[in-house]
Amino acid sequence: MKNMQKIDYKKELKEYYRCSAKKVVSIQVPKMHFLSIDGQGEPGSPTHQQAIEALSSVAYTLKFMVKKSEGGIDYGVMPLEGLWWAEDMMDFVNNNPSNWIWSMMIMQPEIINQDIVAQAIAQVKTKKNLAAIDKLRYQAFEEGLCAQTLHVGPFTEEGPTVERVHAFIHENGGKLTGKHHEIYLSDIRRAAPENWKTIIRQPMATAP
């Protein structure tokens, strides 16, 4: 075990999981694989919390399964991510969170596959009665060209940061596509809200 390989995927994929709050940048995001659960309602609602609990439980179970396997690898579980949208986008402007639709996700390394995920879900089910576990799926997701920056502070104060990202896209002759994407880098149970770090990402398309 002393020679077990350790991989820091946030470092390996730093272009996608580290960025500066000082500027907005464009990046090309490749296809990755995620554990994912869809839902609707405001952040912190019971449904939202249940999704996070199920995702986290399966993600950590996968980590320990890989670590204990032959030729095991030790890696850090990746941060929680969220895609946010609404049937009527004015629900964000008018702050109607009950109408917000989301996908909560945790990225999985290439060593994970559908069979291992199925084993992890079964293992979690034997230990915990999680309300959202049957909604969990393993899927590929490719965003392509995106603009992103880092927001530091409470989620409720993201507005100006989101506007900066949108302005960057328009100023560079692009248009918004896809879904508003947030990557939660901080443990909000331990860090003060003014220090929370969240990557704000927006898929974009360039003019032909």
Q: Which helix (H) or strand (E) holds 202?
A: strand 197-206
Q: What is the mean pLDDT of residues 37-48?
A: 94
Going by C-beta distance under 8 Å and a sequence separation of 6 or more, which residues neighbour residue 132? 37, 39, 47, 50, 51, 53, 54
Look up the pTM and report it: 0.93
Longest dimension (CA), the chain: 55
Segment 186-204, tens digit of pLDDT:
988 888 999 999 999 999 9
Contact status, residue 77 vs residue 106, Cβ threshold 8 Å: yes
Cβ proximity of 54 and 136 under 8 Å: yes
For residue 19, CA distances in Å to 4, 6, 82, 92, 180 come to: 29, 23, 17, 25, 17
Separation CA 71–CA 197 (nearest Å): 34
Q: Domains (ranges, CATH) in the chain?
A: 23-206 (3.20.80.10)
Closest CA to 117 of 139, 100, 96: 139
pLDDT of residue 93: 65
Total number of residues shown for the chain: 208
Tell me the average pLDDT across 148-171: 93
Residue 32 has phi, psi (to 5 degrees) of -130, 170
Dihedrals φ, ψ of 188, to 5°? -70, -10
Residue 1 has pLDDT above 60, yes or no: no
Q: What is the pLDDT of residues 170-190, one digit of tens each?
A: 999 999 999 999 999 998 888
Check if the beta carbon of residue 152 is closer than 8 Å to that of residue 196: yes
Write out pLDDT tens, residues 98-127. Answer: 888 999 999 999 999 999 999 999 999 999
